[in-house]
Structure 1
Amino acid sequence: MSILQDLQPADGSTKNRKRVGRGQGSGMGKTSTRGQKGQKSRSGYKIKRHFEGGQMPLQKRAPKIGFHSRVAKPYSINVDKVVKVANLEEITMETIKSVYKLSKEVTKVKLIGSTTNELASKIKDENVTYTGK
């Protein structure tokens, strides 16, 4: 049975911290392990993240790809598959939302399908468009 006062950490599991600037005999005196002159040896030195010593940084060297349009694309509804929308008397955003589940972010709807030309007269909202063929 061990006694609490006799407990010790395992051999090699702990190290003493490095105490710099405590005289020449310590091996870490004078320059305090900072080497000789230069920017890195001064107090207050801090290198910026991603700085590569004046070389063109990676984020500028890498090719720029992709494009994200700021114009909101309309949500497409196929009226051949969603017959509830095609059977509406008057087609507006509110009536579409009453029969078809749309998220709050959707502001524009485009009706697609082979029967959209027949629905053109029912559309009463400027945010609802159709593909004309």
Structure 2
Amino acid sequence: MGLHNLQPAPGSTRNRKRVGRGQGSGTGKTAGRGNKGQKSRTGYSAKRGFEGGQMPLYRRLPKIGFSSRVIKPHAINVGKNKAVAELDEITIESIKSVYRLQKSVTKVKLIGAGAKDLVSKIKDEAVTTSGK
């Protein structure tokens, strides 16, 4: 076996169709494009979503939704949850030790009565309070 006698597997390749080579070939005259019309012309390419002049589906349906890429913080009411307010140092890890948070939470906002008093205890950039 050498590079000079490599061949594709039997049946894996076909000869290309030579169109427009006379009536006897089976693909002469119109070359398999049918008769007249936009699709039979040279240079034709169907535009994506074009429906022959009919209002396309993406324009018939209403616009819905918006996905913000800004990560919103998880709000914790310290007026209702005293355990967070009683922490010595407030970080994400210390909040997770006393308050049940999902693993996906990366930012926390402390709200409610007494949230402004906790500003001095916060030692983490991911934890903020309502600034009123």
Considering the TM-score relative to the shorter chain, is it more than 0.5?
yes
In the alignment, is residue 117 of structure 1 matched against residue 116 of structure 2?
A: yes
SS at match of 1:120: helix
Q: Using the aligned pairs only, state the percent identity.
A: 64
Return the offset for 1:65: 2.8
- Residue 66 of structure 1 corresponds to 65
Q: State the Cα RMSD in Å.
A: 2.5
Which runs of structure 1 show a deviation greater than 4 angstroms over 4 or more consecutive aligned residues?
36-39
- Residue 46 of structure 2 corresponds to none
Gaps of at least 5 residues in structure 1 are 1-35, 40-49
Partners of 1:63 and 1:51 lie apart in 2 by 18
Return the offset for 1:71: 0.3
Letter aligned with residue 65 of structure 2: G
TM-score with structure 1 setting the length: 0.59
Return the offset for 1:37: 6.6
SS at match of 2:110: strand
Partners of 1:60 and 1:38 lie apart in 2 by 29
Partners of 1:93 and 1:78 lie apart in 2 by 15
Determine if contact 1:116/1:132 at 8 Å carries over to the other structure. no
Gaps of at least 5 residues in structure 2 are 1-33, 38-48
TM-score with structure 2 setting the length: 0.60
In the alignment, is residue 75 of structure 1 matched against residue 69 of structure 2?
A: no
How many residue pairs match? The answer is: 92
Return the offset for 1:114: 1.4
SS at match of 1:84: helix
SS at match of 1:97: helix
